[in-house]
């Protein structure tokens, strides 16, 4: 999906209720692709597995990276969460690929999170059952074979993908 060309004020953006959810980059809205059932299962599993380790987790939280930039990762993990929209970097942003998502565009979004100060990003492909870590320290995505890591927090891929076995 491309950007919606009409410029929107921050106030109007924050009042939006229609679907799909959109991200705001300086008044230009970028609709998020609609999630699939597998996408939803992976999001739920990430939330549960990270929460068990003590992180505050939630889906589709709007992050305010700057006064005109609002992004919405599929799942966040944080030691503390500001209300109503975090304006300070969280520990972890996770994006789960939908069928129409492009991997390069998703990694570019990770770059935006890193520039804001998020140290860890994960990208998960539920169809191919693969995942990447994209950490601020390394500056490039790395495909992982066994587990995703964000500091002391870990999610094993077999445990993550067990949610979609047989789906």
Q: pTM, whole model, 2 decimals?
A: 0.86
Q: Is 139 helix (H, G, I), strand (E, B) or coil?
A: coil
Domains in the chain and their CATH numbers? 33-164 (3.90.1570.10)
Q: How far apart are CA 141 and CA 122, in angstroms?
A: 9
6: pLDDT strictly greater than 90 = no
- DSSP-assigned letters across all residues of 40-79: HHHHHHHHHHHHTTT-EEEESPPEEEETTEEE--SEEEES
pLDDT at site 2: 52
pLDDT digits (tens, 9 = 90+) for 34-74: 788 999 999 999 999 999 999 999 999 999 999 888 898 99
């Amino acid at each position: 999906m491309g950007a919606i060309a009409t410029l929107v004020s921050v106030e109007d953006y924050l009042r939006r209720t229609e679907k799909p959810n959109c991200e705001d980059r300086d008044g230009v809205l970028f609709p998020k692709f609609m999630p699939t059932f597998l996408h939803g299962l992976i999001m739920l599993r990430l939330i549960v597995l990270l929460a068990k380790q003590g992180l505050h987790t939630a889906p589709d939280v709007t992050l305010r990276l700057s006064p005109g930039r609002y992004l919405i990762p599929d799942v966040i993990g944080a030691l503390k969460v500001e209300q109503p929209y975090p304006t300070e970097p969280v520990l972890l942003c996770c994006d789960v690929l939908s069928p129409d998502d492009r991997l390069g565009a998703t990694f570019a979004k990770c770059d935006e999170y890193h520039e804001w100060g998020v140290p860890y990003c994960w990208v998960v492909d539920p169809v191919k059952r693969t995942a990447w870590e994209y950490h601020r320290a390394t500056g490039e995505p790395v495909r992982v074979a066994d587990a995703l890591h964000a500091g002391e927090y870990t999610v094993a891929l077999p445990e993550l993908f067990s949610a979609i076995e047989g789906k």
